[in-house]
Amino acid sequence: MRTMMHEEIIFSGFGGQGVLFAGQLLAYCVLTEGRHVTWIPSYGPEMRGGTANCTVVVSDEPIGSPMSQHPSVAVVFNNPSLEKYEAPLKPGGLLVVNESLIVAPPTRTDIEIVILPATTLATELGDTRMTNMILFGALLSRRPLVSVATVEHILIEKLGARQAHLQETNLRALAHGLELGAAQHA
């Protein structure tokens, strides 16, 4: 029902995979670039069993609902998330999948799919926690919601002094994701 730019992005996976952080990172970037943005996590006992997800809405106009029934983008970090969000994704939407933790690949044909073994790649990069940055990169490669420069800048800011040592790996993970995401395009 809309004319102007409006995207609804869901990040979903286990707690500890940096799912919420990925969503917040996007939100901060959008804020810096001056668009309207909302971020909302799933909350409460759903979290039992360790699953976590959040929705980021990016829009050119004030945002009514921060929640989404039919997201335009879903970044799924594990199998339950894939099972949960493949179906509701809106036709033509983008599905970013962490191949490392799924049982069977997505089956929908009316959506755009990027699938990469993020956890394995992260482990190769020497830090499993980089899974989220790799998937984030892949997302950006297909939906340039914000500029890579903004992302790098905010990422460094958010890591801050205490986690400065993680800067480099994070940036490499991000780049890696961008690459692979773009590559699959061709």
Partner 1 sequence: MAIAAIAEEKIVYQRPESLEDISTHYCPGCTHGIAHRLLAEVLDELGVRERTIGISPVGCSVFAYKYINTDGAEAAHGRAPAMATGIKRVMPDRVVFTYQGDGDLAAIGIAEIIHAATRGENFTTIFINNAIYGMTGGQMAPTTLPGQRTTSSPLGRDVELAGFPIRMAELLSSAPGAAYVARRSLHNVKEINRAKKAIKTAFEVQLAGLGFSMVELLSACPTGWKLTPPEAMDWIEQQMVPVYPLGDYKVAEGVEQLAKRR
Partner 2 sequence: MAKGRIEINENHCKGCSLCTIACPQNVIAMATDRVNAKGYYPAVLVDPEGKCTGCAICAVACPDVCITVYRQVSAKASSAAAAR
Partner 3 sequence: MAAELMKGNVALAEAAIRAGVEAYFGYPITPQTELLEHMAKRMPELGRAFVQAESELAAINMVYGAACTGARAMTSSSSPGISLMQEGFSYIAGSEVPCVVVDIMRGGPGLGNIQPSQSDYFQVTRSAGHGDYHAIVLAPSSVQEAIDLMVEAFDLADEYRHLVFVVADGLIGQMMEPAELPPMQPLRRPLGDWALTGADGREKNIITSLELNAPDLEELNNRLQAKLAHIREHQQRSAEMLTEDARLIVVGYGTSGRIAETAVKQARREGMKVGLFRPISLWPFPEKRLSALADQVGAFLVVEMNAGQMLDDVRLAAGGQVPVTFYGRTGGMVPMPEEIHQEIVTQYNKLTTSAV
137-176 residues near partner 1, rule: CB under 8 A: none
Task: Provide the sign of the torsion angle of the four alpha carbons 128, 133, 136, 142, taken in this order.
Answer: negative
Q: Does 18 bind partner 2 (CB under 8 A)?
A: no
Tokens of 121: 């790649």
Min CB(46)–partner 3 separation in Å:
7
Minimum distance, C-beta of residue 80 to partner 2, in the bound complex (Å):
5
Applying CB under 8 A, among 1, 34, 49, 64 the residue interacting with partner 1 is 49
Distance CA 106, CA 47 (A): 24
Indicate which single residue of 61, 88, 108, 147 sits in contact with partner 3 (rule: CB under 8 A): 61
Judged by CB, which is closer to partner 3: 39, or 77?
39
Q: Which entry of partner 2, partner 1, partner 3, none binds 62, CB below 5 to 8 A by partner kind?
A: partner 3
Token pair for 98? 């962490």
Query: Binding of partner 2 at residue 83 (CB under 8 A)?
Result: yes
* Beta pairing, strands 73-76 & 6-14: parallel
The DSSP-derived string for 38-102 is: EEEE--GGGGTTTEEEEEEEEESS--S-S--SS-SEEEE-SHHHHHHHTTTSPTT-EEEEEGGG-
Interface with partner 2 (CB under 8 A)? 14, 49, 78-81, 83, 101-103
Instruction: Tell me which residues touch partner 1 (CB under 8 A).
Output: 15, 44-45, 47-50
